[in-house]
């Protein structure tokens, strides 16, 4: 199998959603800077994401919505009617200078990943993972749905059975809309219960291949290990996928401001590593993650995990300098970050009890027969 490759773009460094939006923080640029500082990203392993053309986006999105998104970027404004119809120009999905080009670059990376994986391999696209986008509507900070486009791109490249696993704190409502009834797609999502978008119930099964596990507050590393062993790995292995797409959002960690889950980044890396041997094609996407240090450390560790690199206990100075250069304006937690956010990648593990409610939900999903 070929060596893993990373897809990125400088547009994610230069653009943000505005001064008060959770996505004002740098994320992908930290992964690039930190990986390069550690010597983990030689230039021949890096692929610049192309900006998807509007016509390419209509593989799943409606042409009128794509046109409205382009118009909003050009005018830097939306009409009341368009705001209502398309969800553009809202607090979650604001008008900003790159509001078409930035998501179109994320989507372009995912479309390209599907093509590059035709013959097999491993691709990491941390700017991907915008799992809330709908065919004709923005939502949840997502303007387009690049995971859906990645799966459709893989299909177009001749890949049949695809397992989609999502460990973001939020349920991937857009991806479920696209593939819930598709017998060729397995969908597994682990997400915080009673949190926006309030979809992803335990009982949902779509056409039979949908497995949703809502988890309670304070979800810990021990519980994630149980979810991996009892839900994710057995279901993915039994599906015999030709490709695995992992949405590895970084918002289920303890320090994230948008969820109340309590994982350490070790939990995410364990999922990344365990899924790797289960198919000849592996695409790892980013997703949520709103604490700039948590995201940068977690996602850089994903790249190390995909490459089998040792994560040092203490970062060398060049790496620590990247993390010291970050800021998190408007956040209480950003005022006095603890030292380990600068000089380590690995969090201290956050074990805990495997609670009965989670045990019961896992048992309910384990009992389920294939369709």
Nearer to Zn ion, 200 or 206 (CB): 200
Task: Provide, rounded to whole angstroms, the least separation between the CB of residue 141 and Zn ion.
Answer: 8
- The alpha helices in the chain, defined as continuous H runs, are 11-14, 28-37, 54-57, 63-75, 80-86, 101-116, 146-156, 173-179, 221-227, 233-239, 265-275, 292-306, 317-324, 340-343, 356-367
Using the rule CB under 5 A, is 286 a contact of Zn ion? no
Selection from 352, 328, 350, 353 nearest residue 338 by Cα: 328
Residue 180, both tokens: 């819930």
Task: Provide, rounded to whole angstroms, the least separation between the CB of residue 169 and Zn ion.
Answer: 5
Q: Which of 109, 288, 292, 296 binds Zn ion (CB under 5 A)?
A: 288
Nearer to Zn ion, 47 or 142 (CB): 142
Helix, strand, coil shares of the chain as percentages rounded to 5?
A: 40, 15, 45
Task: Provide, rounded to whole angstroms, the least separation between the CB of residue 287 and Zn ion.
Answer: 6
Residues 324-353 that bind Zn ion (CB under 5 A): none
Nearer to Zn ion, 241 or 286 (CB): 286
185-192 β-sheet, strand order: 46-48, 5-8, 121-125, 281-285, 243-247, 162-166, 185-192, 210-215
Select from 174-182, 244-252, 275-283, 344-352 the region that touches Zn ion (CB under 5 A): 244-252
Instruction: Give yes or no for a contact between 273 and 265, defined as CB atoms under 8 angstroms apart.
Output: no
Q: Give CA angle at 111 (105, 115), nearest 5°.
A: 135
Nearer to Zn ion, 146 or 251 (CB): 251
Q: Which of 61, 125, 131, 132 is catalytic?
A: 132
Select from 41-49, 94-102, 118-126, 288-296 the region that touches Zn ion (CB under 5 A): 288-296
Residues 155-184 that bind Zn ion (CB under 5 A): 168-170
Nearer to Zn ion, 8 or 249 (CB): 249
Tokens 């291949």 locate to: 209
Total residues contacting Zn ion by CB under 5 A comes to: 6
Using the rule CB under 5 A, is 200 a contact of Zn ion? no
Residues 59-88 that bind Zn ion (CB under 5 A): none
Task: Provide, rounded to whole angstroms, the least separation between the CB of residue 168 and Zn ion.
Answer: 4
Going residue by residue from 245 to 274, which x/- string records binding to Zn ion, judged by CB under 5 A? ----x-x-----------------------
Active site residue 340: no
Whole-number Å distance between alpha carbons of 260 and 216? 9
Whole-number Å distance between alpha carbons of 228 and 59? 32
Residue 279, both tokens: 């198919």
* Sites of contact with Zn ion (CB under 5 A): 168-170, 249, 251, 288
Active centre residues (catalytic): 132
């Amino acid at each position: 199998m070929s060596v893993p490759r990373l897809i990125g773009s400088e547009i994610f460094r230069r653009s943000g959603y505005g001064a008060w939006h959770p996505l004002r923080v740098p994320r992908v640029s930290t992964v690039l800077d930190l990986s390069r500082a550690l010597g983990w990203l030689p230039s021949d392993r890096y692929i610049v994401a192309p900006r998807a053309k509007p016509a390419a986006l209509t593989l799943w999105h409606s042409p009128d919505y794509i046109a409205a998104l382009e118009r909003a970027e050009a005018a830097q404004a939306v009409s009341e009617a368009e705001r209502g119809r398309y969800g553009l120009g809202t607090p979650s999905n604001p008008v900003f200078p790159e509001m078409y080009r930035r998501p179109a670059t994320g989507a372009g990376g995912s479309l390209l990943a599907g093509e590059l994986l035709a013959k097999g391999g491993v691709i990491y696209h941390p700017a991907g993972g915008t799992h809330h986008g709908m065919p004709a509507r923005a939502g949840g900070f997502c303007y387009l749905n690049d995971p859906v486009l990645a799966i459709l791109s893989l299909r177009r490249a001749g890949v049949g059975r695809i397992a989609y696993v999502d460990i973001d704190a939020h349920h991937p409502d857009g991806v479920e809309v696209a593939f819930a009834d598709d017998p060729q797609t397995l969908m597994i999502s682990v997400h915080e219960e009673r949190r926006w978008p309030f979809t992803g119930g335990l009982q949902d099964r779509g056409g039979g291949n949908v497995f949703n596990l809502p988890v309670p507050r304070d979800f810990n590393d021990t519980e994630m290990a149980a979810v991996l062993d009892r839900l994710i790995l057995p279901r993915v292995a039994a599906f015999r996928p030709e490709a695995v797409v992992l949405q590895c959002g970084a918002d289920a960690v303890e320090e994230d401001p948008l969820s109340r889950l309590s994982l350490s980044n070790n939990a995410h890396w364990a999922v990344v590593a365990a899924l790797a041997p289960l198919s000849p094609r592996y695409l790892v996407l980013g997703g949520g993650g709103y604490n700039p240090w948590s995201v940068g450390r977690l996602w850089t560790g994903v790249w190390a995990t995909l490459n089998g690199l040792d994560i040092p206990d203490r970062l060398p100075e060049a790496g620590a300098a990247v993390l010291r250069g970050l800021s998190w304006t408007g956040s209480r937690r950003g005022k006095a970050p603890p030292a380990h956010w600068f000089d380590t990648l690995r969090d201290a593990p956050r074990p805990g009890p495997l609670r009965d409610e989670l045990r019961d939900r896992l048992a309910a999903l384990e009992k389920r027969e294939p369709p």
